A and B are shown apart, each in its own frame.
Chain A
Amino acid sequence: MIAFDLLVAICLLYVALLFGVAFLADRRAAAGRGGWLRSPLIYTLSLSVYCTAWTFYGAVGYAARSGLEFVTIYLGPTLIFIGWWWTLRKLVRIGRTQRITSIADLISSRYGKSNALGVIVTLIAVVGVTPYIALQLQSVTLSFAVFAPSGAGPWALTDLNSTALTVAGGLALFTILFGTRNLDANERHHGVVIAIAVEAVVKLIALLAVGVFVVWGLAGGVSAMIERIEASPLAGMPIQPGRWIGLTFLAAAAILTLPRMFQVLVVENENERHLATASWAFPAYLCLMSLFVVPIAVVGLAEMPAGANPDLFVLTLPLAHGHDGLAALAFLGGFSSATSMVIVASIALSTMVSNHIVMPLFLSLTRTSAPMSGDVRMLVLRARRFSIGGVLLLGYLYYRMSGGSEALAAIGLISFAGIAQVLPALVGGIMWRGATRLGALAGLTLGFGLWAYTLLLPSFGGGAVMGPALLAEGPWGISWLRPQGLFGLDGLDPLVHALVVSMAANVLGFVTVSLMTFPDPIERIQAAQFVNVFDHSSAGPGWRQGGAEAEDLLLMAQRIMGADEAQALFRRSAADQGKQGFLPDITPDFLQRLERALAGSVGAATAHAMVGQIVGRSAVSVEDLMRVADETAQMMEYSSQLEAKSEELARTARQLREANEKLTELSVQKDAFLSQISHELRTPMTSIRAFSEILMGADGMRPEDMGRYSRIIHEESLRLTRLLDDLLDLSVLENGQVSLNLQEVTLADLIDRAVAATGSLQGGLTIRRDAAAERVRLMTDGDRLSQVFINLISNAHKYCDAEGPELTIRVRAARGAVAVDFVDNGSGIPERSQAIIFEKFSRLTDPRKAGGAGLGLAICREIMGRLGGSIVYLPGQGGAAFRVSLPQVRAEAA
């Protein structure tokens, strides 16, 4: 038998490989490379997270116990992928347009962004998935135990528990590392997805290898195999139609509602078209996975000793025949199945827990204080990390509690049935506009309650939660309330019984209450958006022009999405409105766009509440109601065309108005400049003329006075030269006559140079830098770039009005671009002036204090334009802040 230590070593190596793969994939994705990361193949492979350890080991056991019934588990998803392809596409489209983060978010968003529903679905998911996670831990530990030396060796039962704990801890670490790197759930977890895809390949190869070994190695070929199957007890096992239909339905529901399936199917989906490939490729994958299940079960039953656990035939058959390598491969396959399920499930659950439970709690606790004080981003990430740990801990505790004894498949089916309770609200939500929040609430609570009563609690066995008397005779002896025979439905299989009772109550409650209640306006709008997602992928519950300041919203968005993302979003929105800079007008469209972007990080309900807090209005307006009233397709069509036209007109008008304002302002500035330039030239000339006249009649003047006056003449002529240099520099830059001297430089050197050049200025400006971040190599004109830096640093010297003036220089390199931010702690530049500071001759303060003609920033802007980059003012940083951006062209590429 293979040495146990070797197995552990293989296992660790494999985990290290997965870490490496995930890390590289994340790196490539962050660098904007690796298009194959987003291929339909990877998407299809990631869907295989459906095949857990249950499928890997359990299917064989299932076949050994119940014959062909295991096929239902593959049949359900296949039917969905082939027959309900349109519904899947609808789900994916809704997920993308509404920036849905989880199944709980989808339900909450559809039913009027109701957080109560989000919480309920989250709880159902946690309760339903925990046993499933326990199941994975159990299968990994059991498979370890197979390899452990039998008897009293170091591998007693306590060691099994510690194995389970180690595995849970390792998985938590992996998931936290790669699953909570980005806050936005809509930013795909490339690393995780790739690792899952690798695991998908490993488990498929492993199962196929064992199958090939069994059919050709043990049974002696295909025809011999078929004979053995016909002779085996499996052939005689009856097919129970009730269970078949029930199980197929369950598996079909699971593919739509399991949090981990929703995660890979909808949230991680890169491109709707990938679904087309998956619609045949995923059923094909399932088919391959099930190909050798029966042969392995048959040969296992025939060759293994009577007491052997059929769930472990995949491992024990190769081991029994001395094929250690094959056994190790099978072990890795099972290990892959278990780990990929746990990783994706805990990412999905942690997103739900943090978005629907932690964040709403935090929001309601901080509602009284200023909006969004504190770093929400960190809070969300931390909440997510703790949730991952919590989910795995729950799984581990369940594993300990259940004693690790039950047959694997039973727990899987119980989980499926629990999660399937979300199905009516989900399918109703995307198909039927009449479905209401209260209906969904009623259906979910009824279905979930009955599931717990008829299936979950009895599953712990008589005496664990429910007494044997209660199970046999019903509560208080009322026999038609017996958990496994409600309403006298005796004689049914317990699983089918629970499924029929809970789903019937669920659907009945959902439909009846939906028909009896009237949805509120947000709900109606969301309903229209979800049900008719293909007709109109825009519009939605609108925001009216509110009192919110763009800058406040930017501050909040930065805390949630991160500074770069938020600034990019605001900038794009402003550009779409025909404006420059980072502060778009607070239009309803913009608010909606912002809300969706935030929803990607914290869920729809929370995002709505956050924007509502700042805009100061979360009620729905009359306009919203009007929009709901205009429901017919033609009206929708007509009004959307009209809206598009009037929006375009408004945009053109705004552009014209802005252009006009700018022209007027420029003409005023030009006049002011002429008088300014006159002043700048005449002032030094006055001194020069006066002192030269004095020196001309200098009879009897003291030599030291003469020296001093000559020096003044000299200084003033230098001042004149500087001014003329600036003017010429600008004119050359503007006319594009400048030739660049490109060379490889280090950012740190350029900043050093600029700091040294401005060091002689008076005033105690403290400059904060980060030497590590500045170690960036660039291909650019170093002299020109440092000219820009000098300008920005000396501006901080001159204008920063803080008690202890400080300038922070931040460097960030990402996605082939470098951004250098210069942020001081003064009072900043007022919003109305932010648009004009880069214009020539504009100067905000007294000219003498500035000591220039207002050309510095204009020159900077021209230089950056020539270097292929930009310089912009960054609002919302506390002080005056400028961002210099450059493309990072490497030396070898230039």
Chain B
Amino acid sequence: MGKRVLLIEDEPNIIEAIRFILSREGWRVDTHSDGTTAFDRVTAVRPDIVILDVMLPGRSGFDILRDIRADAGLNGLPVLMLTAKGQVKDREMAERVGASRFMAKPFSNTEVLASVRELTGA
């Protein structure tokens, strides 16, 4: 265990919930709330998995994901995308940009945990 999750999300209550769920299972959870600096944080922290919200202040989650996929050093980094909009075109967009998995809010806690485990092979 002891794997690292980087959670990029700006709603404080949702951050608190996900942090609680994952850290209870032994994950180290880093969080970041600003879209413009999120990519730098990914390269600095080098997490095992990124949980990425779509609607972020400053920059959209899709743009951040595009940068992650374009960076050779981050090859194979699993990214779990969350969105509160839940429309079909958002899901399509996520797939096109290269999300490893896409979940609509509100999510079930166990589902999040299961997805994170599955994507990291833990």
Interface residues of A (CB under 8 A from B): 674-675, 678-679, 682-683, 685-691, 693-694, 712, 715-716, 846-849
Instruction: Evaluate contact between A686 and B108: CB separation under 8 angstroms.
Output: no
List, sorted by A's number, 13 A–B pairs whose CB atoms are closer than 8 Å: A675-B85, A678-B86, A682-B105, A683-B105, A685-B106, A686-B17, A686-B106, A687-B11, A687-B13, A690-B109, A693-B108, A712-B13, A846-B57
- A/B pair count, beta carbons within 8 Å: 63
Instruction: Evaluate contact between A690 and B106: CB separation under 8 angstroms.
Output: yes
Q: Please, which residues of chain B bring their CB within 8 A of the CB of A674?
A: 87
Q: Mark B86-109, 1 if CB is under 8 A from A, else 0.
A: 110000000000000000111111
Q: Please, which residues of chain A bring their CB within 8 A of the CB of B29?
A: none
Q: Please, which residues of chain B bring their CB within 8 A of the CB of A712?
A: 13, 16
Q: Mark B10-46, 1 if CB is under 8 A from A, else 0.
A: 1101101110110000000000000000000000000
Instruction: Evaluate contact between A678 and B85: CB separation under 8 angstroms.
Output: yes
> Nearest Cβ distance between residue A665 and chain B, in whole angstroms?
20
Choice from B10, B14, B21, B87 contacting A687 with Cβ under 8 Å: B14
- With A678-B85, A712-B16 as contacts: A686 and B105 at CB distance below 8 Å: yes
B side interface size, CB within 8 A: 22
Instruction: Evaluate contact between B108 and A689: CB separation under 8 angstroms.
Output: yes
Q: B84 at interface (Cβ–Cβ under 8 A)?
A: yes
Instruction: Evaluate contact between B107 and A690: CB separation under 8 angstroms.
Output: yes
Alpha-carbon gap, A678 to B86, bound state (A) = 8
- With A682-B84, A687-B11 as contacts: A694 and B109 at CB distance below 8 Å: yes
Instruction: Evaluate contact between B21 and A694: CB separation under 8 angstroms.
Output: yes
Q: Please, which residues of chain B bring their CB within 8 A of the CB of A688?
A: 106
Instruction: Evaluate contact between A683 and B11: CB separation under 8 angstroms.
Output: yes
Q: Please, which residues of chain A bring their CB within 8 A of the CB of B105?
A: 682-683, 685-686
Instruction: Evaluate contact between B84 and A679: CB separation under 8 angstroms.
Output: yes
> Nearest Cβ distance between residue B67 and chain A, in whole angstroms?
21
Alpha-carbon gap, A92 to B69, bound state (A) = 79
Q: Please, which residues of chain B bring their CB within 8 A of the CB of A715?
A: 13
The 5 closest A-B CB pairs, nearest first, are: A690-B17, A687-B13, A682-B84, A686-B105, A686-B106
Q: Please, which residues of chain B bring their CB within 8 A of the CB of A675?
A: 85, 87
Known: A691-B17, A848-B11. 13 other contacts (CB 8 A): A679-B85, A682-B85, A682-B104, A683-B84, A686-B107, A687-B11, A690-B14, A690-B21, A690-B109, A694-B17, A712-B16, A847-B55, A848-B10
Q: Please, which residues of chain A bring their CB within 8 A of the CB of B11?
A: 683, 686-687, 848
Alpha-carbon gap, A688 to B106, bound state (A) = 9
Instruction: Evaluate contact between A693 and B13: CB separation under 8 angstroms.
Output: no
Q: Please, which residues of chain B bring their CB within 8 A of the CB of A849?
A: 57
Alpha-carbon gap, A688 to B13, bound state (A) = 9
> Nearest Cβ distance between residue B3 and chain A, in whole angstroms?
21
Alpha-carbon gap, A685 to B87, bound state (A) = 16
**CB nearest to B104 among chain A residues:** A682
Alpha-carbon gap, A849 to B55, bound state (A) = 13
Q: Please, which residues of chain A bring their CB within 8 A of the CB of B108?
A: 689, 693
Best-buried of A686, A687, A689, A849 by chain B (most CB within 10 Å)? A686
Choice from A682, A687, A846, A848 contacting B86 with Cβ under 8 Å: A682
Q: Please, which residues of chain A bring their CB within 8 A of the CB of B84?
A: 678-679, 682-683, 686
> Nearest Cβ distance between residue A686 and chain B, in whole angstroms?
4
Instruction: Evaluate contact between B20 and A694: CB separation under 8 angstroms.
Output: yes
Alpha-carbon gap, A712 to B12, bound state (A) = 10
**CB nearest to B112 among chain A residues:** A690
Q: Please, which residues of chain A bring their CB within 8 A of the CB of B106?
A: 682, 685-686, 688-690
Alpha-carbon gap, A685 to B84, bound state (A) = 10
> Nearest Cβ distance between residue A68 and chain B, in whole angstroms?
95
Q: Please, which residues of chain A bring their CB within 8 A of the CB of B16?
A: 712
Q: Please, which residues of chain A bring their CB within 8 A of the CB of B20?
A: 694
Q: Please, which residues of chain A bring their CB within 8 A of the CB of B21?
A: 690, 694
> Nearest Cβ distance between residue B93 and chain A, in whole angstroms?
12
Alpha-carbon gap, A675 to B106, bound state (A) = 15
Alpha-carbon gap, A712 to B19, bound state (A) = 15
Q: Please, which residues of chain B bring their CB within 8 A of the CB of A685?
A: 105-106
Best-buried of B13, B57, B108 by chain A (most CB within 10 Å)? B13
Q: Please, which residues of chain A bring their CB within 8 A of the CB of B107?
A: 686, 689-690
> Nearest Cβ distance between residue A846 and chain B, in whole angstroms?
5
> Nearest Cβ distance between residue A249 and chain B, in whole angstroms?
84
> Nearest Cβ distance between residue A854 and chain B, in whole angstroms?
15
Alpha-carbon gap, A675 to B83, bound state (A) = 11
Q: Please, which residues of chain B bring their CB within 8 A of the CB of A678?
A: 84-87
Instruction: Evaluate contact between A687 and B17: CB separation under 8 angstroms.
Output: yes
**CB nearest to B90 among chain A residues:** A675
Q: Please, which residues of chain B bring their CB within 8 A of the CB of A687?
A: 11, 13-14, 17
Instruction: Evaluate contact between B109 and A693: CB separation under 8 angstroms.
Output: yes
Best-buried of A682, A685, A690, A691 by chain B (most CB within 10 Å)? A690
